[in-house]
Chain A
Amino acid sequence: MVFSWPVAGAVFLASGVEFVEALTVVLAVGVTRGFRTALAGAAVALAALAALVLLFGHALVTVFPAAWFRLILGALLLLVGLKWWKKAVLRAAGRKSQRDEAAVYAREVARLEGRRPGGGLDAEGFLTSFNGVFVEGVEVVVIVLTIGAAARSLGSAVLGALIGFLLVLLVGILLRRPLTQVPENALKFVVGVVLTSFGTLILGEGVFGAWPIGDAAILVCLAVYTLASVVFVRRLAEPREGRA
Protein backbone atom coordinates (compact mmCIF):
# COMPACT_ATOMS: atom_id res chain seq x y z
CA MET A 1 0.00 0.00 0.00
CA VAL A 2 1.30 3.43 -1.00
CA PHE A 3 0.77 6.43 1.26
CA SER A 4 -1.37 9.06 -0.42
CA TRP A 5 -1.29 12.69 0.73
CA PRO A 6 -4.44 13.68 -1.24
CA VAL A 7 -6.37 10.86 0.45
CA ALA A 8 -5.03 11.74 3.91
CA GLY A 9 -5.67 15.44 3.33
CA ALA A 10 -9.25 14.98 2.13
CA VAL A 11 -10.08 12.71 5.08
CA PHE A 12 -8.33 15.08 7.50
CA LEU A 13 -10.48 18.02 6.37
CA ALA A 14 -13.75 16.07 6.35
CA SER A 15 -13.16 14.35 9.69
CA GLY A 16 -11.87 17.55 11.30
CA VAL A 17 -15.22 19.26 10.70
CA GLU A 18 -17.08 16.31 12.22
CA PHE A 19 -14.75 16.18 15.24
CA VAL A 20 -15.30 19.90 15.89
CA GLU A 21 -19.05 19.22 16.07
CA ALA A 22 -18.52 16.22 18.36
CA LEU A 23 -16.22 18.26 20.62
CA THR A 24 -18.97 20.85 21.14
CA VAL A 25 -21.30 18.18 22.55
CA VAL A 26 -18.59 16.58 24.70
CA LEU A 27 -17.62 19.96 26.18
CA ALA A 28 -21.26 20.80 26.94
CA VAL A 29 -21.63 17.48 28.78
CA GLY A 30 -18.31 18.01 30.56
CA VAL A 31 -19.22 21.45 31.84
CA THR A 32 -22.72 20.45 33.01
CA ARG A 33 -22.33 16.79 34.06
CA GLY A 34 -18.61 16.45 34.69
CA PHE A 35 -15.72 15.61 32.39
CA ARG A 36 -15.48 12.05 33.70
CA THR A 37 -18.95 11.33 32.31
CA ALA A 38 -18.28 13.22 29.07
CA LEU A 39 -14.97 11.48 28.38
CA ALA A 40 -16.37 8.04 29.27
CA GLY A 41 -19.19 8.48 26.72
CA ALA A 42 -16.74 9.73 24.09
CA ALA A 43 -14.29 6.88 24.76
CA VAL A 44 -16.95 4.17 24.39
CA ALA A 45 -18.19 5.80 21.16
CA LEU A 46 -14.63 5.91 19.78
CA ALA A 47 -14.14 2.23 20.64
CA ALA A 48 -17.37 1.35 18.80
CA LEU A 49 -16.25 3.38 15.76
CA ALA A 50 -12.82 1.75 15.76
CA ALA A 51 -14.52 -1.66 15.79
CA LEU A 52 -16.62 -0.62 12.77
CA VAL A 53 -13.49 0.37 10.82
CA LEU A 54 -11.70 -2.87 11.73
CA LEU A 55 -14.72 -5.03 10.87
CA PHE A 56 -15.79 -3.43 7.61
CA GLY A 57 -12.50 -1.89 6.45
CA HIS A 58 -10.70 -5.18 5.97
CA ALA A 59 -13.75 -6.83 4.38
CA LEU A 60 -14.21 -3.98 1.89
CA VAL A 61 -10.61 -4.06 0.75
CA THR A 62 -10.24 -7.83 0.52
CA VAL A 63 -13.66 -9.40 -0.18
CA PHE A 64 -15.53 -7.27 -2.70
CA PRO A 65 -14.51 -7.18 -6.39
CA ALA A 66 -12.84 -3.84 -7.14
CA ALA A 67 -15.42 -2.66 -9.72
CA TRP A 68 -18.36 -3.40 -7.43
CA PHE A 69 -17.04 -1.68 -4.38
CA ARG A 70 -15.98 1.31 -6.47
CA LEU A 71 -19.52 1.48 -7.83
CA ILE A 72 -21.22 1.19 -4.44
CA LEU A 73 -18.76 3.21 -2.40
CA GLY A 74 -18.40 5.86 -5.11
CA ALA A 75 -22.18 6.33 -5.17
CA LEU A 76 -22.26 6.51 -1.36
CA LEU A 77 -19.43 9.03 -1.24
CA LEU A 78 -21.05 11.08 -4.00
CA LEU A 79 -24.31 11.21 -2.04
CA VAL A 80 -22.55 12.30 1.17
CA GLY A 81 -20.49 14.88 -0.72
CA LEU A 82 -23.52 16.29 -2.56
CA LYS A 83 -25.40 16.61 0.72
CA TRP A 84 -22.55 18.65 2.26
CA TRP A 85 -22.04 20.67 -0.91
CA LYS A 86 -25.73 21.54 -1.17
CA LYS A 87 -25.87 22.77 2.45
CA ALA A 88 -22.70 24.81 1.94
CA VAL A 89 -24.05 26.48 -1.22
CA LEU A 90 -27.34 27.31 0.49
CA ARG A 91 -25.45 28.80 3.47
CA ALA A 92 -23.11 30.80 1.25
CA ALA A 93 -26.09 32.17 -0.70
CA GLY A 94 -27.84 33.16 2.52
CA ARG A 95 -30.64 30.61 2.02
CA LYS A 96 -29.77 28.61 5.14
CA SER A 97 -28.51 29.76 8.54
CA GLN A 98 -24.80 29.32 9.24
CA ARG A 99 -23.84 26.63 11.72
CA ASP A 100 -22.77 28.31 14.95
CA GLU A 101 -20.84 26.11 17.42
CA ALA A 102 -21.34 28.68 20.21
CA ALA A 103 -25.12 28.50 19.75
CA VAL A 104 -25.09 24.68 19.61
CA TYR A 105 -22.96 24.64 22.77
CA ALA A 106 -25.31 27.04 24.59
CA ARG A 107 -28.33 24.92 23.61
CA GLU A 108 -26.71 21.72 24.88
CA VAL A 109 -25.61 23.35 28.16
CA ALA A 110 -29.12 24.76 28.73
CA ARG A 111 -30.65 21.33 28.05
CA LEU A 112 -28.32 19.50 30.41
CA GLU A 113 -28.18 22.03 33.21
CA GLY A 114 -30.38 21.90 36.28
CA ARG A 115 -29.61 18.47 37.64
CA ARG A 116 -26.01 17.83 38.44
CA PRO A 117 -25.06 14.30 39.41
CA GLY A 118 -23.79 13.61 42.90
CA GLY A 119 -21.12 11.05 42.13
CA GLY A 120 -20.27 8.40 39.56
CA LEU A 121 -21.36 8.48 35.93
CA ASP A 122 -24.45 10.37 34.89
CA ALA A 123 -26.54 8.29 32.47
CA GLU A 124 -28.01 11.18 30.46
CA GLY A 125 -24.65 12.92 30.17
CA PHE A 126 -22.95 9.66 29.16
CA LEU A 127 -25.53 8.96 26.46
CA THR A 128 -25.41 12.53 25.16
CA SER A 129 -21.64 12.40 24.88
CA PHE A 130 -21.71 8.90 23.35
CA ASN A 131 -24.38 9.91 20.85
CA GLY A 132 -22.60 13.14 19.88
CA VAL A 133 -19.33 11.37 19.17
CA PHE A 134 -20.86 8.26 17.59
CA VAL A 135 -23.25 10.07 15.23
CA GLU A 136 -20.55 12.43 13.95
CA GLY A 137 -18.04 9.59 13.96
CA VAL A 138 -20.14 7.32 11.74
CA GLU A 139 -19.84 9.89 8.94
CA VAL A 140 -16.09 9.89 9.50
CA VAL A 141 -16.08 6.07 9.27
CA VAL A 142 -18.01 6.20 5.98
CA ILE A 143 -15.57 8.76 4.58
CA VAL A 144 -12.50 6.83 5.80
CA LEU A 145 -13.77 3.53 4.41
CA THR A 146 -15.00 4.86 1.06
CA ILE A 147 -12.03 7.06 0.20
CA GLY A 148 -9.48 4.73 1.80
CA ALA A 149 -10.80 1.51 0.29
CA ALA A 150 -11.49 2.91 -3.17
CA ALA A 151 -8.05 4.52 -3.36
CA ARG A 152 -6.52 1.31 -1.96
CA SER A 153 -4.95 3.44 0.72
CA LEU A 154 -6.91 2.75 3.88
CA GLY A 155 -3.88 3.55 6.03
CA SER A 156 -3.66 7.08 4.55
CA ALA A 157 -7.36 7.65 5.23
CA VAL A 158 -7.11 6.37 8.80
CA LEU A 159 -4.03 8.54 9.41
CA GLY A 160 -5.84 11.62 8.04
CA ALA A 161 -8.78 11.02 10.39
CA LEU A 162 -6.45 10.31 13.32
CA ILE A 163 -4.55 13.58 12.80
CA GLY A 164 -7.88 15.44 12.57
CA PHE A 165 -9.06 13.82 15.79
CA LEU A 166 -5.84 14.50 17.71
CA LEU A 167 -5.65 18.11 16.52
CA VAL A 168 -9.24 18.89 17.54
CA LEU A 169 -8.76 17.03 20.84
CA LEU A 170 -5.57 18.95 21.62
CA VAL A 171 -7.10 22.34 20.85
CA GLY A 172 -10.24 21.36 22.77
CA ILE A 173 -8.20 20.41 25.87
CA LEU A 174 -6.22 23.66 25.68
CA LEU A 175 -9.22 25.95 25.16
CA ARG A 176 -11.96 24.02 27.00
CA ARG A 177 -14.59 25.77 24.91
CA PRO A 178 -16.19 25.20 21.51
CA LEU A 179 -13.97 25.87 18.52
CA THR A 180 -15.91 28.88 17.26
CA GLN A 181 -12.87 30.29 15.48
CA VAL A 182 -12.71 27.35 13.11
CA PRO A 183 -14.20 28.51 9.78
CA GLU A 184 -16.52 25.51 9.82
CA ASN A 185 -18.92 26.66 7.11
CA ALA A 186 -16.08 27.47 4.71
CA LEU A 187 -14.44 24.13 5.52
CA LYS A 188 -17.71 22.31 4.80
CA PHE A 189 -17.83 24.00 1.42
CA VAL A 190 -14.34 22.75 0.57
CA VAL A 191 -15.04 19.30 1.96
CA GLY A 192 -18.34 19.03 0.06
CA VAL A 193 -16.60 19.79 -3.23
CA VAL A 194 -13.67 17.45 -2.42
CA LEU A 195 -15.93 14.54 -1.41
CA THR A 196 -18.12 15.02 -4.48
CA SER A 197 -15.00 15.04 -6.67
CA PHE A 198 -13.67 11.84 -5.08
CA GLY A 199 -17.15 10.29 -5.37
CA THR A 200 -17.35 11.18 -9.07
CA LEU A 201 -13.87 9.78 -9.73
CA ILE A 202 -14.51 6.52 -7.88
CA LEU A 203 -18.04 6.00 -9.24
CA GLY A 204 -16.74 6.64 -12.76
CA GLU A 205 -14.02 4.01 -12.31
CA GLY A 206 -16.65 1.56 -11.08
CA VAL A 207 -18.95 2.25 -14.03
CA PHE A 208 -16.69 2.56 -17.07
CA GLY A 209 -13.20 1.69 -15.83
CA ALA A 210 -10.28 4.10 -15.93
CA TRP A 211 -10.75 7.80 -16.75
CA PRO A 212 -9.00 8.90 -19.96
CA ILE A 213 -6.53 11.02 -17.94
CA GLY A 214 -6.29 8.62 -14.99
CA ASP A 215 -6.42 9.97 -11.43
CA ALA A 216 -5.80 13.49 -12.77
CA ALA A 217 -9.52 13.50 -13.53
CA ILE A 218 -10.05 14.52 -9.91
CA LEU A 219 -8.39 17.86 -10.71
CA VAL A 220 -10.90 18.38 -13.52
CA CYS A 221 -13.76 17.52 -11.14
CA LEU A 222 -12.41 19.91 -8.49
CA ALA A 223 -12.06 22.75 -11.01
CA VAL A 224 -15.50 22.22 -12.59
CA TYR A 225 -17.28 21.83 -9.24
CA THR A 226 -15.53 24.87 -7.73
CA LEU A 227 -16.54 26.98 -10.72
CA ALA A 228 -20.09 25.61 -10.51
CA SER A 229 -20.20 26.52 -6.80
CA VAL A 230 -19.48 30.16 -7.62
CA VAL A 231 -22.21 30.20 -10.27
CA PHE A 232 -24.75 28.43 -8.01
CA VAL A 233 -24.13 30.77 -5.08
CA ARG A 234 -24.45 33.86 -7.27
CA ARG A 235 -27.63 32.61 -8.95
CA LEU A 236 -29.25 31.68 -5.62
CA ALA A 237 -28.26 34.95 -3.98
CA GLU A 238 -29.72 37.10 -6.78
CA PRO A 239 -33.49 36.88 -6.04
CA ARG A 240 -33.04 37.71 -2.36
CA GLU A 241 -30.99 40.80 -3.20
CA GLY A 242 -33.64 41.78 -5.72
CA ARG A 243 -36.44 41.57 -3.17
CA ALA A 244 -34.57 43.50 -0.46
Chain B
Amino acid sequence: MRRVLVTLVDLFYEDPWLFGAVVVGAGTAYVAGRASSGLGGLLLIVAVLAGLWASLRRAA
Protein backbone atom coordinates (compact mmCIF):
# COMPACT_ATOMS: atom_id res chain seq x y z
CA MET B 1 0.00 0.00 0.00
CA ARG B 2 2.97 2.28 0.68
CA ARG B 3 3.98 1.83 -2.94
CA VAL B 4 0.48 2.82 -4.07
CA LEU B 5 0.48 5.94 -1.88
CA VAL B 6 3.97 6.89 -3.05
CA THR B 7 2.85 6.42 -6.66
CA LEU B 8 -0.18 8.64 -6.10
CA VAL B 9 1.87 11.35 -4.39
CA ASP B 10 4.46 11.12 -7.18
CA LEU B 11 1.75 11.49 -9.77
CA PHE B 12 0.36 14.57 -8.05
CA TYR B 13 3.67 16.35 -7.66
CA GLU B 14 5.57 15.10 -10.70
CA ASP B 15 2.68 14.79 -13.11
CA PRO B 16 -0.13 17.13 -12.11
CA TRP B 17 -1.55 17.00 -15.63
CA LEU B 18 -2.53 13.34 -15.30
CA PHE B 19 -3.89 13.88 -11.82
CA GLY B 20 -5.70 17.00 -13.04
CA ALA B 21 -7.17 15.10 -15.98
CA VAL B 22 -8.83 12.63 -13.61
CA VAL B 23 -10.09 15.29 -11.18
CA VAL B 24 -11.30 17.73 -13.85
CA GLY B 25 -12.72 14.85 -15.90
CA ALA B 26 -14.67 13.50 -12.95
CA GLY B 27 -15.91 16.99 -12.01
CA THR B 28 -17.10 17.98 -15.47
CA ALA B 29 -18.58 14.51 -16.02
CA TYR B 30 -20.53 14.88 -12.76
CA VAL B 31 -21.93 18.29 -13.68
CA ALA B 32 -22.69 17.43 -17.30
CA GLY B 33 -23.82 13.91 -16.37
CA ARG B 34 -26.72 15.33 -14.35
CA ALA B 35 -28.22 16.54 -17.62
CA SER B 36 -27.00 13.75 -19.88
CA SER B 37 -24.82 10.76 -19.13
CA GLY B 38 -23.67 10.73 -22.75
CA LEU B 39 -22.37 14.29 -22.46
CA GLY B 40 -20.77 13.42 -19.12
CA GLY B 41 -18.98 10.47 -20.67
CA LEU B 42 -17.85 12.50 -23.65
CA LEU B 43 -16.39 15.23 -21.43
CA LEU B 44 -14.64 12.62 -19.27
CA ILE B 45 -12.94 11.13 -22.35
CA VAL B 46 -11.99 14.60 -23.62
CA ALA B 47 -10.50 15.52 -20.23
CA VAL B 48 -8.46 12.28 -20.17
CA LEU B 49 -7.09 12.94 -23.67
CA ALA B 50 -6.35 16.60 -22.94
CA GLY B 51 -4.55 15.77 -19.68
CA LEU B 52 -2.49 13.03 -21.29
CA TRP B 53 -1.51 15.23 -24.22
CA ALA B 54 -0.48 18.07 -21.90
CA SER B 55 1.55 15.64 -19.82
CA LEU B 56 3.20 14.15 -22.94
CA ARG B 57 4.14 17.57 -24.27
CA ARG B 58 5.69 18.43 -20.91
CA ALA B 59 7.68 15.18 -20.80
CA ALA B 60 8.83 15.17 -24.45
Residues of A within 8 A of B (CB): 52, 71, 75-76, 78-80, 82-83, 85-86, 89-90, 93, 95-96, 135, 138-139, 142, 196, 200, 203-204, 207-212, 217, 220-221, 224-225, 228, 232, 236, 239
Residues of A within 8 A of B51 (CB): 82
Which residue of chain B lies nearest to A95 when distances are taken between CB atoms in the complex? B60
Residues of A within 8 A of B21 (CB): 82
Question: By DSSP majority rule, is chain B's interface helix, strand, loop, or mixed?
Answer: helix
- Residue from B4, B19, B22 with most neighbouring chain A CB atoms (10 Å): B22
Residues of B within 8 A of A83 (CB): 7, 11, 15, 18
Q: Check A79 against B19 for contact (C-beta < 8 Å).
A: yes
Q: Check A208 against B49 for contact (C-beta < 8 Å).
A: no
Q: Given A79-B8, A82-B51, A209-B33, are A217 and B41 neighbors across the interface (CB < 8 Å)?
A: yes
Closest Cβ–Cβ distance, residue A20 to chain B (whole Å): 18
Of A52, A204, A228, the contact of B41 (CB 8 Å cutoff): A204
Cα A232 to Cα B59 in complex, Å, equals 13
B18-44 interface (Cβ within 8 A of A):
18-19, 21-22, 25-26, 29-30, 32-34, 37-38, 40-41, 44
Size category of the B interface is 20 to 34
Q: Check A211 against B37 for contact (C-beta < 8 Å).
A: yes
Q: Check A78 against B22 for contact (C-beta < 8 Å).
A: yes
Q: Check B3 against A207 for contact (C-beta < 8 Å).
A: no
Of A86, A196, A212, A220, the contact of B55 (CB 8 Å cutoff): A86
Cα A157 to Cα B34 in complex, Å, equals 31
Closest Cβ–Cβ distance, residue B42 to chain A (whole Å): 10
